[in-house]
Structure 1
Amino acid sequence: MWKFINVTHNHEESLYWIELNRPEAYNAFSDEMMDEIKAALMEAERKKDVRAVIFSGKGKVFASGADIKELKEMSPLEALFPRMQPLYEFIYQYPKPTIAAIDGYALGGGMELAAACDLRIATERSKFGLPESKLGVIPGAGGTQRLVKLIGEAKVKELVYLGDMINGAEAKHIGFINFVVGEAELIDRVVEIAQKVTEKAPMALRFAKQCIQRQADIPQEVGMLLENLSQAYLFSTKDKTEGVTAFIEKRKAIFNGE
């Protein structure tokens, strides 16, 4: 049984919450925290009734990035084989929908964690930034790659070169954040959006995610073939039959992920 200290996790109906729990360190990512996040995600993947995973941060910070104390001691070899980058790729490729519920600062690895999620909901007081250049390093968990696909090369260069922060409203304006809400509304809005997601056919969302995320890396004709093959498979599922039948019968579909 895994011992969780640096994160808390909670399974409520179809939702699985993972809360970063190092408020005394502004929810900076230690090696132990990253191990616990991976363990929590694997647990959520095994639970068939979990339809979406939500990330949040304890206290007034979503996540402040890498633990500077650990970063100071990191060798060039360790930097060549980082732990955060493969963890975020695991989150990006995760088969179930992921949602970042962001209140407060999401800096460096915190912004990159949000970028690895499928949907991002932030409060008006949230702050985002990539300040790594102030430490003599660069974003190393998708900030120069995945984030470019989300908000464009020019904006990423601005964030990296200047090291300035942007607020929730600007983050939404540039297409990074899906929804911006007041602090008091965050949890209710996250649950509302997550429940909408969980009402959809799980296999359809899983295949759609793969098609969407692959489109930038493969020729369009290959992407169209992937889309066609995914659709053909979905036509063989019980959920497709249920969805079409429910529509004809004018009732709400009940999907079982089969």
Structure 2
Amino acid sequence: MPDPEVLLVEEGADRVVWRLNRPERRNAIDQELASALHEACADAERDPRVVLIVGAGGTFAAGADIGQLRDRRRDDALRGINSTLFDRIHRLPMPTIALIDGYALGGGAELAYACDFRIGTPSARIGNPETGLGILAAAGAAWRLAALVGEPLAKEILLAGRILTADEARAVRLLNELVEPSDLEAAGDRLADRITANAPLATRLTKAVFAAPPGAHPFVDDLAQAVLFETDEKRTRMTAFLERKDRTR
């Protein structure tokens, strides 16, 4: 069983906070933390809520644990330890928000890329220095990053080791918002409030349709809409909208 202290889980009615808690190692993602994150994913799959991910101690996550990574061999790579985890986080039913203070490097950056939203502070630094360690960014950056920031910048980050400052990441929309450290978690809650104000099933299905492969459209869109058209919440929300509109006439 993973040490429960490496990941602090703070439960709410419509959201949950995952606090990476290895500040002495700048929240490097080791096997124990990865196992704890898998357990947290299982809970978020059973009880879908918005997930906010934050690092303790002024760092989001400064990569994988190099001590463990150095000793990994071919079979470990083929197990996809981090890539499997980050893909699971990316596919969680409800949106995920990374709250980035300080470094998000290597596996920490790939964890942030797997989230639906990223909010940062002025001290945020985001990049993938893996080639400098003789490996590659194999947990999603090699293909997910280009979709986020475009191919030219993704190649600078992946092949030339460029580390983005907070302002640079905000300018290319890798960060959705830039706030002071004291406001970081409140900013995450404000975004979560906007998400949870909407119909939960509509949000879940919109996320699923957004992630569907191109060949699945428009059938998957119509199928999801057919499900939503039959819900009581659709009728309740539309009725309330029409009643508000009538009152303003």
The alpha carbon displacement at 1:154 in A equals 1.2
Q: Write the distance in 2 (CA, Å) between the matches of 1:228 and 1:153.
A: 32
Kindly indicate whether residue 34 of structure 2 is the aligned counterpart of residue 42 of structure 1. no
The alpha carbon displacement at 1:188 in A equals 1.4
Unaligned runs of 5+ in 1: 252-258
Question: What is the RMSD of the two structures over their aligned residues, measured on CA atoms?
Answer: 1.6
The answer as to whether partners of 1:172 and 1:179 remain within 8 angstroms in 2 is: yes
The answer as to whether partners of 1:2 and 1:39 remain within 8 angstroms in 2 is: no
Please give the secondary structure, in 1, of the residue aligned with 2:104. strand
Matches within 5 A, 1:119-198: 119-198=117-196
The answer as to whether partners of 2:2 and 2:32 remain within 8 angstroms in 1 is: no
Q: Write the distance in 2 (CA, Å) between the matches of 1:136 and 1:233.
A: 48
Structure 1 stretches of 4+ with a deviation exceeding 4 A read: none
**Corresponding residue for residue 102 of structure 1:** 100
Q: Write the distance in 2 (CA, Å) between the matches of 1:163 and 1:185.
A: 30
The answer as to whether partners of 1:99 and 1:118 remain within 8 angstroms in 2 is: yes
Q: Deviations over 1:50-98 (max 9, x none)?
A: 6311000001210111110111100111112221101111111110111
Q: Deviations over 1:219-251 (max 9, x none)?
A: 3xx312211111111101122112212212329
Q: Which amino acid is 1:30 matched to?
A: D
**Aligned counterpart for 1:207 among listed residues 205, 208, 214:** 205
**Corresponding residue for residue 21 of structure 2:** 21
Please give the secondary structure, in 1, of the residue aligned with 2:141. coil
Q: Write the distance in 2 (CA, Å) between the matches of 1:228 and 1:46.
A: 25
The alpha carbon displacement at 1:2 in A equals 7.2
**Aligned counterpart for 1:235 among listed residues 195, 218, 229:** 229
Q: Which amino acid is 1:161 matched to?
A: L
The answer as to whether partners of 1:120 and 1:177 remain within 8 angstroms in 2 is: yes
**Corresponding residue for residue 217 of structure 2:** 223
Kindly indicate whether residue 52 of structure 2 is the aligned counterpart of residue 61 of structure 1. no
Q: Write the distance in 2 (CA, Å) between the matches of 1:242 and 1:63.
A: 42
Equivalent pairs: percent with the same residue? Answer: 36
**Aligned counterpart for 2:112 among listed residues 111, 114, 135:** 114
Q: Write the distance in 2 (CA, Å) between the matches of 1:141 and 1:166.
A: 19
**Corresponding residue for residue 255 of structure 1:** none
**Aligned counterpart for 2:241 among listed residues 228, 244, 247:** 247
After TM superposition, the score normalised by the length of structure 1 is 0.90
Please give the secondary structure, in 2, of the residue aligned with 1:241. helix
Structure that is richer in helix per residue: 2
Please give the secondary structure, in 1, of the residue aligned with 2:87. helix
The answer as to whether partners of 1:201 and 1:239 remain within 8 angstroms in 2 is: yes
The answer as to whether partners of 1:131 and 1:160 remain within 8 angstroms in 2 is: yes
The answer as to whether partners of 1:21 and 1:58 remain within 8 angstroms in 2 is: yes
